[in-house]
Amino acid sequence: AQSVTQLDSHVSVSEGTPVLLRCNYSSSYSPSLFWYVQHPNKGLQLLLKYTSAATLVKGINGFEAEFKKSETSFHLTKPSAHMSDAAEYFCVVTGGYQKVTFGTGTKLQVIP
Amino acid sequence: GAVVSQHPSRVICKSGTSVKIECRSLDFQATTMFWYRQFPKKSLMLMATSNEGSKATYEQGVEKDKFLINHASLTLSTLTVTSAHPEDSSFYICSASQREPRDNEQFFGPGTRLTVL
C-alpha cells in the first residue's frame, strides 16, 4: 500500500521569501517521487523527480526537493518566491506496478 | 521530448450524447497510459490504466461501461464518455509512461475540459 500526505492545503508567502511545501509518503516499494505544478485551467508540469539517485533533487524554476527516507518526506523548497509561482502543487508517489498516488495538492499564494 | 497531447482541449455537449477524448504521445512509445479526472479545486483521481493492446484496468467505483477506454497503439489512447450527463462535467487528464527509462515518470497531457449541458 502507498499513500501521500500533503500537510498544507494552502500556503501563503510574500514575494522574495522562501517557499516550503511539505509532503510525506508511505510505500511498500522503493518509491519514485515527483512534484508537479498546475496553473489554473492547465495541465500538469513536472517540476522534479526522485528515482533512487541523488537524494537532493533540483528541478525547474529554482525548485528543489530532498528525499529523506528516515522521515519519509519529500518536501519542496525554493529560496525566493516569484509571483509566477502561484499555482497548485501536487506531490506524487509511484511504486510497484506503476501504481500512482497523488497528494491532495497545496495551493501556493504569493503576495506582492 | 516526451510530449503528450490531448484533443479536444475543450468540449461542450448535450446530455445523452457521447464524447471521445484522444490522448497521444507525440515523440515516444507509451507502454502505459492513464486517465484521470479532476474535480474543481480537487486532486486528480485515477480512473483507469491502459496498456497497449489489452483491456483497461479500472479503479474502484469507475463505471467501465460509461467510460470506455481504447489503447489501440503505442501512441494513442481514447476515452469515450458514453451517454454523458451534467455530473460527468469535469477536467479529464491523460498521462503516459514510456518504455525506457523505467522510472515511473508520467508525462501529462494538457487536459480536456468537458461540459455537459
Instruction: Report pLDDT digits (tens) over B7-50.
Output: 999 999 999 999 999 999 998 888 889 999 988 777 788 899 98
B chain contacts of residue A10, beta-carbon cutoff 8 Å = none
Q: Is the dihedral of CA B13, B14, B15, B18 positive or negative?
A: negative
Closest CA to A37 of A26, A48, A24: A48
Neighbours of A93 (CB within 10 A): 26
The proportion of chain A whose per-residue pLDDT surpasses 70, expressed as a percent, equals 97
Q: Which of A34, A102, A104 has its CB closest to that of B105?
A: A34
Higher pLDDT, A98 or B48: B48
Residue in B closest to A46 by C-alpha: B107
CA angle B93, B94, B99 (to 5 degrees): 155
B48-73, pLDDT tens digit by residue? 998 877 889 999 999 999 999 988 88
B chain contacts of residue A90, beta-carbon cutoff 8 Å = 43-44
Pick among A8, A27, A34, A38 to test the B interface (most B CBs inside 10 A): A38
